[in-house]
Amino acid sequence: MQKHRTKFIFVTGGVASSLGKGIISASLARLLLSRGYKTTIQKLDPYINIDPGTLNPYEHGECYVTEDGAETDLDLGHYERFTNVPTSQANNVTTGRIYQSVIEKERRGDYLGSTVQVIPHITDEIKRRVRLLAQNNEFDVVITEIGGTVGDIESLPYIEAVRQLTWEMEEDVMVIHLTYVPYLAAAGELKTKPTQHSVKTMLEQGLQPDIIVCRTEHPISKSVRSKVALFCNVRPECVIESRDAKNIYEVPLMMLQEGLDKQVLKILKLPYGGRPDLSAWRSFLRKLDHPKSEVQIALVGKYVELKDAYKSILEAFLQAGAVNQCKVRVNMIQSEQLTQKNVAEKLSGNHAVLVAPGFGNRGIAGKLVAIEYARKNKIPFLGICLGMQCSVIEFARNVLGWKDADSTEMNAKTKHPVIHIMDNQKEVENLGGTMRLGAYPCQLKKGSLLEKIYGKKDISERHRHRYEFNNLYLKDFEKAGMTVVGVNQVKGSNKTFRVEAVEIPAHPFFVGVQYHPEYKSTVENPHPLFVAFVKAAMAFRFNKK
């Protein structure tokens, strides 16, 4: 394809939050990629936290982790799942990070004594962060999603930065505005006034959207389309309907149908070409829509009231279900409510058990009870991060007989610290960005279940933790039947390896991983561990009967 200058698409939101800017951005990226345009997506978040790593999942859902170890907004997970293109630290920038860089520059004296202000210094830093992604000419298109809604005080500098960019780069910049068009049942009508107001707010700030995507529960008629076009200064074909979808993976096809990519390419003066190649995507959707069997998998965790807290795990299950043409029903179980007394009843009807990642003491007892039940009843088990650590604690207590065995995260004084803080974490004082983060290589043991699942010995997976398996106890565990099947070689420390994965070979499927496989599962490459876990659940269900 002929090389063009990098083009920039900004996606803003109006009327209400949670309209799905992330999904629209990811869907557009999917369409552009399928047409051969190298595309990446960036999220600018207007809050003051440096990154979402220190945010409680109840506040903001899951914290997603990139290859290079950035703790990011969960929208980056959608970007990767839709595009299959890894993101990095540069793809998620918050107001906190912008101010941090500006203040550091001020302290260094880089501003040569001038008064440091929102305009131009903060806006310059925002623009620099956007342009950074175009630096090596790696991408044809950079899509930048601006968090929050226009009109918020905290998004003002971002809108202003985009306004400046539309002047600086004219033809290479465009703006998509996502709004909500509510249906008033009493009037029997779709209402465009909120959209008009939100576009007016943008206009007051000097920004004219080129395309308006209307999120709606009902079809948008031609007259509603013309009305939005007329009041908001856009061509009628640039008013795009975005109806509620059966699942998020339908959205790229809906946007193709509506011609979103066509209008974008027209505005950016990029060749349109023929139809994008979405055959793999369509085949994924076909499989998803036509399952041949069904399993139920228990997800034991402490944030079950909030689906977003386990977003990547739920999406990984959906993708792995499609590969197996099996509908995966995820049964969220609040670990705090699990006890020895009710575990059999609560886990009955589930064909596999996943114990989720997490932090702190709350809900640990229930997780241990669930693991014991899965281990003894040979129910397929997958423990991720804290879930793996809990499987080690459970084994120590109930098989090795060390009743006080624990992680030092839960009990610093235990006589059997089978999980303990990593050496290099002991001195850490700041909580933000200091865990063991991002991708590390892992070597799998020959003949292990995991080696069979991955089909290779050397893998790389992403991490987010401070505690780890205590190698002092390795021999005891192996003698008693829990084996270490994945290690990360460590250089320059007094230990030679970190434990990344454990298995119980006598169990049909008992796997604990210190890393997070869910972050790497995409539509194009569903994660092999999730695919195998769903297969194990199917085997459990159908062999049992």
* Shorter beta-carbon distance to ligand GLN: residue 348 or 430: 430
Q: Which two tokens stand for residue 179?
A: 């709004």
Residue 545 CA: distances (Å) to CA of 276, 340, 351, 539, 540: 45, 25, 12, 10, 9
* Shorter beta-carbon distance to ligand GLN: residue 392 or 459: 392
Nearest distance, CB of residue 390 and ligand GLN, angstroms: 9
| In contact, 473 and 396? CB cutoff 8 Å | yes
Q: What is the DSSP string of 384-413?
A: ETHHHHHHHHHHHHHTS--TT-EETTT-TT
* Shorter beta-carbon distance to ligand GLN: residue 178 or 386: 386
* Shorter beta-carbon distance to ligand GLN: residue 13 or 357: 357
Paired strand residues for 354: 299, 382
Residues within the interface to ligand GLN (CB under 6 A): 357-359, 385-386, 409, 464-467
What is the spatial distance between Cα 238 and Cα 229, in angstroms, rounded to a whole number?
A: 8
Q: What one-letter code names the amino acid at 2?
A: Q
* Shorter beta-carbon distance to ligand GLN: residue 20 or 53: 53
Enumerate residues 6+ apart whose C-beta is below 8 A from 13: 19, 21, 146, 148, 149, 150, 177, 178, 179
What is the spatial distance between Cα 389 and Cα 254, in angstroms, rounded to a whole number?
A: 42
Nearest distance, CB of residue 340 and ligand GLN, angstroms: 24
What is the spatial distance between Cα 21 and Cα 30, in angstroms, rounded to a whole number?
A: 14
Q: What one-letter code names the amino acid at 322?
A: A
* Shorter beta-carbon distance to ligand GLN: residue 325 or 408: 408
What is the spatial distance between Cα 125 and Cα 116, in angstroms, rounded to a whole number?
A: 12
Please identify which residue in the block is written with the tokens 């509506």.
258
Nearest distance, CB of residue 244 and ligand GLN, angstroms: 32
Closest CA to 409 of 456, 323, 468, 460: 468
Nearest distance, CB of residue 53 and ligand GLN, angstroms: 11
Count of residues in the chain: 545
Nearest distance, CB of residue 385 and ligand GLN, angstroms: 3
- Give the helix/strand (H/E) hosting 485: strand 483-489
What is the spatial distance between Cα 338 and Cα 340, in angstroms, rounded to a whole number?
A: 7
* Shorter beta-carbon distance to ligand GLN: residue 239 or 393: 393
What is the spatial distance between Cα 459 and Cα 525, in angstroms, rounded to a whole number?
A: 15
| In contact, 11 and 146? CB cutoff 8 Å | yes
| In contact, 162 and 47? CB cutoff 8 Å | no
Q: How far is CA 484 from the centre of its chain?
A: 28
Prior bond to 120 cis, omega within 30? yes
Q: Which two tokens stand for residue 474?
A: 């390795």
* Shorter beta-carbon distance to ligand GLN: residue 35 or 516: 516
* Shorter beta-carbon distance to ligand GLN: residue 372 or 409: 409
Nearest distance, CB of residue 519 and ligand GLN, angstroms: 11
Nearest distance, CB of residue 505 and ligand GLN, angstroms: 24
Catalytic (active-site) positions: 385, 516, 518
Nearest distance, CB of residue 426 and ligand GLN, angstroms: 13
For residue 116, count other CB atoms closer than 10 A to its CB.
13
* Shorter beta-carbon distance to ligand GLN: residue 31 or 70: 70
Prior bond to 46 cis, omega within 30? no
What is the spatial distance between Cα 60 and Cα 24, in angstroms, rounded to a whole number?
A: 19
Q: Which two tokens stand for residue 458?
A: 């050397």
Nearest distance, CB of residue 329 and ligand GLN, angstroms: 24
Please identify which residue in the block is written with the tokens 């009305």.
227
Exposure string of 530-544, with b = 16+ CB inside 10 Å and e = fewer, is bbbbbbbbbbbbeee
Nearest distance, CB of residue 406 and ligand GLN, angstroms: 12
- Give the helix/strand (H/E) hosting 328: strand 326-334
Paired strand residues for 145: 11, 43
Closest CA to 507 of 368, 378, 330: 378
